[in-house]
């Protein structure tokens, strides 16, 4: 059966660590045909169905460089004519991503099977999705108000300030008890009250890593990837130099996963990446969760195999 991956341009993939590539490789190993397009290729016209214009049918070459794939054919493909559509476009969740989810939802109405479900992608912004599960989070404030942020800092003394649309650790600041630069940071990130910010009490366990726990069809992968800050950096994100160390889930990690997994699965989220620092839930990632390859390389656990198993079960249901 054919699987259509809606993703960033294939030429930009870093196949030694890319999770979408790991999915493709396992799917190809099982005999699935691979199609790929970008969100910019999606098209709908009255009287027709949502299509991927010029979608590539690809074969994997087994090489690691820019030539990791070969284009076998290129053609317009109706999404409802594929076996499954996998939305794997990386954040940010901007206007164009939002519009793409509406096109994908129309494709669902026409009979396409889309993972993760487009409506669920819209309903779970990756910073704000934790609000529903506040019992697992650190003290958190979401606001445009500089006055409210100053009051929150005065209460908690050591805080993290971050934009809601950031990715890869971009725009994250720590403000300690002295409050140094709090005003400037809030003005910069909040654009003088025009942009909503999230502020959280600093969790010192970040020194041991920001753990990415993967949920596949509501079930946790038994290993997480702890992304450990290096040097004086407060952020553990791999994109800013954090060191990824795979480790077994703790009992508390499993408790959080058990609390969130069934709810998120029921909403059509086949793959979710929850971020946990110490015992604290900090984010719920649904757009394009990663870390398959790092976990597999360090532990031998076949994360991509678990994911394609879940995808095949969902398609057979």
SS3 content of the chain, % helix, strand, coil (to 5): 35, 30, 35
Torsion of CA 253, 165, 206, 148, to 10 degrees: -110
**Helix, strand or coil, per DSSP, at residue 24:** helix
**What angle do helix axes 303-316 and 19-29 make, rounded to 10 degrees?**
60
Whether 282 and 137 have beta carbons less than 8 Å apart is answered as: yes
Q: Report the C-alpha gap between 215 and 231 in whole angstroms.
A: 30
Whether 117 and 316 have beta carbons less than 8 Å apart is answered as: no
Q: Which strand (E) or helix (H) includes residue 53?
A: strand 51-60
**Looking at the annotation, which residues are catalytic?**
127, 162, 212, 227, 235, 275, 283, 285
């Amino acid at each position: 059966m054919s699987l259509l991956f809606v993703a960033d341009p294939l030429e930009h993939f870093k196949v030694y660590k890319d999770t979408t590539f790991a999915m493709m490789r396992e799917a190809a190993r099982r005999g699935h045909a691979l199609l790929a397009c970008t969100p910019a290729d999606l098209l709908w016209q009255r009287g027709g169905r949502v299509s991927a214009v010029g979608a590539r049918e690809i074969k994997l070459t087994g090489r690691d460089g820019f030539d990791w794939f070969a284009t076998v054919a290129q053609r317009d493909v109706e999404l409802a004519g594929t076996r499954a559509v996998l939305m794997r476009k990386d954040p940010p969740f901007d206007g164009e991503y939002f519009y793409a989810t509406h096109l994908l939802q129309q494709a669902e109405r026409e009979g396409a099977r889309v993972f993760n479900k487009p409506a669920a992608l819209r309903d779970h912004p990756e910073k704000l999705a934790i609000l529903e599960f506040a019992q697992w989070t650190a003290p958190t404030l979401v606001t445009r108000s500089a006055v409210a942020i100053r009051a929150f800092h005065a209460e908690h003394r050591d805080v993290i300030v971050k934009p809601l649309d950031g990715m890869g650790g971009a725009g994250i600041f720590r403000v300690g008890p002295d409050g140094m630069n709090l005003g400037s940071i809030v003005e910069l990130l909040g654009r003088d009250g025009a942009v909503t910010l999230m502020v959280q009490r600093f969790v010192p366990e970040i020194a041991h890593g920001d753990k990415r726990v993967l949920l596949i069809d509501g079930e946790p992968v038994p290993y997480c990837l702890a992304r450990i800050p290096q040097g004086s950096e407060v952020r553990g994100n791999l994109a800013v130099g954090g060191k990824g160390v795979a480790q077994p889930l703790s009992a508390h990690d499993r408790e959080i996963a058990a609390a969130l997994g069934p709810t998120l699965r029921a909403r059509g989220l086949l793959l979710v990446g929850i971020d946990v620092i110490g015992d604290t839930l900090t984010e719920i990632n649904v757009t394009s969760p990663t870390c398959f390859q790092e976990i597999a390389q360090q532990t031998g656990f076949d994360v991509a195999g678990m994911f394609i198993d879940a995808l095949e079960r969902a398609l057979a249901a």
